[in-house]
Amino acid sequence: MVAPATPGQVRRVVEPAVAGLGLVLEGVEVTLGPDDHGELDLDRVAEATRAASAALDAEDVVPGHYTLEVSSPGVDRPLTARRHYERALRRTVRLTLDDGSVVTGRLAGVEGGDEAPVAVVVPSRSPGRGRRPVDEPPVRIALARVTHGKVVVDLSGLGPADEHGDELHDAHDEHGDEEEG
């Protein structure tokens, strides 16, 4: 019986194949490279699958039959590396810090070198229902202090419009007369 391939063996073979496509191998995941601001669409996933499969077959790292699955990490991928934060710029993030506190706000930047990167987060507060949130002063947080970080997906604007909102409000009733105030 042949021993299964180790993650290190698979990495050694697959990493150059996906790097040639401008992608990054993250453990067992492949994501866009740090300088690639495109999307990981189905065509790119198919290219990565073919490149990884050809590299694995050429080196025979995984003897016999295997199933290769290539996909994008999705919106719920944790922010664990500087490049993850850089791709999340201008999006809302939620960062849990080593002291248990949580900072939520728009990611305005990533500063500092690779040894000590810092996230610049602009928190906001709600002044009350129906009013726009107010930005607070930026907060600088060393990424080393973040125990869990993620992009916050806001789907609040995707629901049905308020029945009295502009989209559904008709200035005329069913008889064509204007409605009264």
The tens-digit pLDDT sequence of the chain (181 residues) is 445 556 677 778 778 887 887 877 766 544 555 556 666 666 777 787 788 788 878 877 666 776 776 666 666 778 988 988 998 999 999 999 999 999 999 999 999 988 899 999 999 888 888 888 889 999 999 999 999 999 998 766 565 655 454 444 444 444 444 444 4
User: In the prediction, which pLDDT does 1 show?
Assistant: 41
User: In the prediction, which pLDDT does 19 show?
Assistant: 83
User: In the prediction, which pLDDT does 169 show?
Assistant: 42
pTM, two decimal places: 0.56
Q: Looking at residue 105, which CATH number applies to its domain?
A: 2.30.30.720
User: In the prediction, which pLDDT does 117 show?
Assistant: 94
User: In the prediction, which pLDDT does 165 show?
Assistant: 46
Same-domain check for residues 87 and 54? no
Cα–Cα nearest to 108, from 95, 125, 97, 123: 123
> Domain for residue 2, yes or no?
no
Same-domain check for residues 49 and 98? no
> Domain for residue 180, yes or no?
no
User: In the prediction, which pLDDT does 77 show?
Assistant: 77
Same-domain check for residues 90 and 137? yes
User: In the prediction, which pLDDT does 40 show?
Assistant: 60
> Domain for residue 173, yes or no?
no
User: In the prediction, which pLDDT does 38 show?
Assistant: 62
Same-domain check for residues 148 and 87? yes
- What are residue 71's phi and psi, to 5 degrees? -150, 170
User: In the prediction, which pLDDT does 11 show?
Assistant: 77
Same-domain check for residues 88 and 148? yes
Helical axes 7-19 vs 42-59, angle rounded to 10°: 130
> Domain for residue 126, yes or no?
yes
User: In the prediction, which pLDDT does 143 show?
Assistant: 95
> Domain for residue 140, yes or no?
yes
Domain hosting 124: range is 82-154
Same-domain check for residues 86 and 146? yes
Same-domain check for residues 11 and 43? yes
**Considering its fold, how many domains does the chain have in total?**
2
Same-domain check for residues 149 and 88? yes
